[in-house]
Amino acid sequence: MSQSLAWNRKDLIDVEHLSRDEIETIFTAATAFKRAMEADDKKQPYLEGRTVVNLFLEPSTRTRLAFEVAASRLSADTITVTGGASSLTKGETLRDTARNMEALKADMIIMRHSASGAPNYLSKVVDIPVINGGDGSHAHPTQALLDSFTLLEKFGSLEGKRITILGDILFSRVARSNIWCLQKLGAEVTIAGPSTLVPKEFEALGVHVCHDLQEALEDADAVMLLRIQHERQTATHFPSIGEYTSTFGLNKQRAKWLKLGAIIMHPGPINRGVEIDSELADSEQSVVLQQVTNGIVVRMAVLHLCYCAHNGKSIELP
Amino acid sequence: MNEILWITGGRIIDPANKRDETGDLYSVDGVLVEQLDDTQKKAATKIDANGLVVAPGLVDIHVHFRDPGQTHKEDIASGSRSAAAGGFTTVVCMPNTSPVCDNAGTIQRIMDKVARESIINIYPTGCLTIGMDGEQLAPTGQLKKAGVVAVTDDGKCVQSNEIMRRAVEYAKMLDLPIMDHCQDASLTQGAVMNEGEWSLRLGLRGWPKAAEDIIVARNVILAELTGAHIHMQHVSSANSVDILRRAIARGISVSGEASPHHIEFTDADLKDYNTVYKMNPPLRTDADKEALIEGLCDGTLACIATDHAPHSPDEKDREFDTAPFGIIGLENSLASSLGTLYHSGRLSLSEVIALMTHKGAELCKLDAGTLSAGADADICLFDPDEEWTVDPKQFFSKSRNCPWEGQTLKGKVKSTFVAGTQVYDGTSISA
């Protein structure tokens, strides 16, 4: 099948600069891949003979695996390079590492990096597509896209839907990307959590900022929980994990504040008993595992679209 | 030496003497004189300055020449040539070299090199504290004897109020100006850009203005307590300007400087993670920029200083978080300042020149920045309206980290004289 789809980007760096048409193009492709996957037609030929490098310079399990699976389902060869195993630990610059991968004839680079803006930098250094697998506190575009894809499966449309993102917004690349993605698709976004992690300056991005959990959850169609990221916060941002849980942790009782039929999302990894009760994380309200599955097809879509755009190929879908 | 210079027909602007007129300027043996006699006129080297401004050589009380220790970025020779090409005849170097300038020996080493290699007047500063660690006072008396014109821990800020108080008291006894880089380090851990909407958008660690404001307020209080004068370097926030304005109105002896980049760029310029906009203190918001300009207009901020901070291309060519802070600015400072302050209609030509000459010189008690008879013939000739496009590759500085790259600016230095000798002819270094 050949379709006229809106996509001419070599790279996927963030959601902020994507148009709604581009987001919907990704979803069209993801839907096609998901349909094929459910029909047990898992393997697609679109990146056959191509090499995809997973350059993961910051720890990751599910994103890295999801990209590896996505690339493999597109028939690409994948190479994974992690921070500790790269020459960056010997002082090699990111430019040199990336240029070497290009010289090794890699066709795409997926990068996770602890520094915000690193994929922007990389995309200017190399001529092959760069897909952002999460950079610092800046962006995690494929996570936001799979989150919205999951919400669309549930609701059909996000127009007027009220979505609350709860937790550590300040240090969260997932929150930032979701704020852009959800709003572009017509949702109303509330961000909630302690004032030290949810500064009111976020209002400039068009969201409602809230520090009262009940207010944040009431009438929400979905709540996205974020992991409390001990590794990014200084000790000064909240008094203790216990204090956080008692004030902002989601439990069964508090979940009743949500709109009937509302869903609970989490990008993982979950700190069970911290931002969410274990029982609730595994409940029918939770779509955490659907998010993981959708992560494969959304990433297949992104890899396929960027590869086609960069190589001047028409977009074929199963 | 019997060299006679006769600059004719230029618009002579000497703010220190409230002079703005078309006329001639003379120097004999490197010193400005009021007139030449007929014999001297016949022997003089005549420079036609018709259509040009004839100003005092520019003065910058805040530059980093990285010498000793990091001469791959800049050294005394290249820094002095960069300054000369920007119209500067006098600069004050910061002490955060390697080793830092916390002892007379390092100062002597710099002075010796200046004597050998510089084509302009370069004055060193000394550290406030040993190793710039903020814990123990540097030997300020010995530093003064060695030739420093001010003390500062620039690049760092003394965090202990007690140490700062004693450093200020001690420097006052020695009649040495005190300059401070105002930054509460506890508020800027890991910070790389202004805290605000853009740091939230970009996911970069924010650097609140309060980190500067708190120290500016602290220094105002210490200036009042000790009676010493404290100069705030590279002021970047509206609140800091306001604190200074109120303090000065109350008669407290404090001052501040603004850099050309803080009055031109904002944190929105970081939107593409271009490390050439990474600087300390960080670029702030439009409101802060406007407050700085207002501060320069009403005299709250005494002068313009570049904070010329060279870094090699390799060091800047990396992820934003790990790139060093700082930009160069000597070779475009006049043009960019003219653009922001004069061509925009905010200040007269004379007022801008004052901010770049005698006002800074007075803060550091330097004999520079005027065209008074008897002063050294340090002169800058420039065309305030000539346009040129900034190409850092053509700079005399060793470094290229210049955020004005590609911009077309108005205001071109045509000639620089130091003690009556031409050191820059508008194209090349002639000393």
Q: Cβ contact (<8 Å) for B203 and A202?
A: no
Q: What is the DSSP letter of B44?
A: S
Same domain? For A119 and A177 the reply is no
Does residue B35 belong to the interface with chain A, where contact is any CB pair within 8 Å?
no
pLDDT at B347 over 50: yes
Q: What is the DSSP letter of B95?
A: S
Which residue in the list B60, B288, B307, B378 is annotated as catalytic? Answer: B307
Residues B425 and B271: their CA atoms lie apart, in Å, by: 38
**C-alpha distance from A3 to closest chain B C-alpha (Å):** 33
| Residues whose CB is less than 8 angstroms from the CB of residue A246 and which lie 6 or more positions away in sequence, other chains included | none
Q: Cβ contact (<8 Å) for A136 and B189?
A: no
A268 is in an annotated binding site: yes
Q: Cβ contact (<8 Å) for B318 and A93?
A: yes
pLDDT at A2 over 60: no
- Could you tell me the CA-to-CA distances from B234 to A32, A237, A238, B39, B303 in Å, in that order? 57, 29, 33, 48, 10
| A299: in domain | yes
Q: Tens digit of pLDDT for each residue in B124-151?
A: 999 999 999 999 999 999 999 999 999 9
Would you list the DSSP string of B371-395? --TTSB--EEEEEEEEEEE--GGG-
Q: Cβ contact (<8 Å) for A115 and B189?
A: no
Q: Cβ contact (<8 Å) for B319 and A120?
A: no
| A17: in domain | yes
Domain count, chain A: 2
Long-range contacts of B32-38 (CB under 8 A, 24+ apart): B32/B371, B32/B372, B32/B373, B32/B374, B32/B375, B32/B376, B32/B377, B33/B373, B33/B374, B34/B373, B36/B4, B36/B6
Q: Tens digit of pLDDT for each residue in A29-81?
A: 999 999 999 999 889 999 999 999 999 998 888 899 999 999 999 999 999 98
Q: Which residues of A touch B317 (CB under 8 A)?
A: 93, 95
The average pLDDT across B271-291 equals 98
Residues B48 and A187: their CA atoms lie apart, in Å, by: 69
Same domain? For A136 and A153 the reply is no
Q: Which residues of A touch B197 (CB under 8 A)?
A: 201, 204-205
The average pLDDT across A84-93 equals 73
Same domain? For A82 and A157 the reply is no
| A317: in domain | no
Same domain? For A285 and A300 the reply is no
Q: Tens digit of pLDDT for each residue in B237-264?
A: 999 999 999 999 999 999 999 999 999 9
Whole-complex ipTM: 0.90
pLDDT, position A233: 61
Q: B187, B202, B315: best mutation site toward chain A, by most A Cβ within 10 Å?
A: B202
Same domain? For A225 and A267 the reply is yes
Does residue B318 belong to the interface with chain A, where contact is any CB pair within 8 Å?
yes
Which of B197, B314, B322 is facing A115, going by the closest CB pair? B322
Q: Name the token pair of B39.
A: 């014999």
Same domain? For A166 and A213 the reply is yes
pTM above 0.80, yes or no: yes
Same domain? For A162 and A264 the reply is yes
Q: Name the token pair of B254.
A: 């404090």
Domain housing A45 = 2-140+294-312
State what percent of residues in chain B have pLDDT above 90. Answer: 99
Q: What is the DSSP letter of B45?
A: E
| A318: in domain | no
State what percent of residues in chain A have pLDDT above 90. Answer: 81
The average pLDDT across A201-223 equals 96
Q: Residue A119's closest chain B neighbor by CA?
A: B319
Same domain? For A86 and A224 the reply is no
Residues A20 and A22: their CA atoms lie apart, in Å, by: 5
A140 is in an annotated binding site: yes
Comparing A87 with A283, which gets the higher pLDDT? A283
Q: In what order do the strands lie in the sheet with A263-265?
A: A208-210, A188-192, A162-166, A222-225, A263-265
Domain CATH for A304: 3.40.50.1370
- Could you tell me the CA-to-CA distances from B44 to B26, B35, B89, B371 in Å, in that order? 9, 12, 22, 18
pLDDT at B169 over 80: yes
**C-alpha distance from B238 to closest chain A C-alpha (Å):** 18
Residue with tokens 């990096």: A113
Scored b (16 or more CB within 10 A) or e, A187-201 reads bbbbbbbbeebbbeb
| A258: in domain | yes
On whether the CB atoms of residues B152 and B233 are closer than 8 A, the answer is yes
**Which of B106, B86, B104 has its CA nearest to residue B96?**
B106
Which of A173, A201, A204 is facing B203, going by the closest CB pair? A173
Residue B187's CB is within 10 A of a number of other CB atoms, namely 18
Same domain? For A69 and A99 the reply is yes
Same domain? For A172 and A278 the reply is yes
Q: Cβ contact (<8 Å) for B317 and A16?
A: no
Mean pLDDT of chain B: 97
Q: Cβ contact (<8 Å) for A201 and B204?
A: no
pLDDT at A107 over 80: yes
- Could you tell me the CA-to-CA distances from B177 to A135, A279, B79, B106, B167 in Å, in that order? 45, 66, 23, 19, 11
- pLDDT confidence tier of residue B10, bands split at 50, 70 and 90: very high
Q: Strand ranges (DSSP E) for B217-261?
A: 230-232, 254-258
- CA-based angle B389:B392:B395, to the nearest 5? 105
Same domain? For A84 and A186 the reply is no
Q: A88, A177, A201, A203: best mutation site toward chain B, by most B Cβ within 10 Å?
A: A201
B307 assigned to active site: yes
Q: Which residues of B touch A135 (CB under 8 A)?
A: 203
Same domain? For A224 and A304 the reply is no
pLDDT, position B132: 98
| Residues whose CB is less than 8 angstroms from the CB of residue B113 and which lie 6 or more positions away in sequence, other chains included | B67, B76
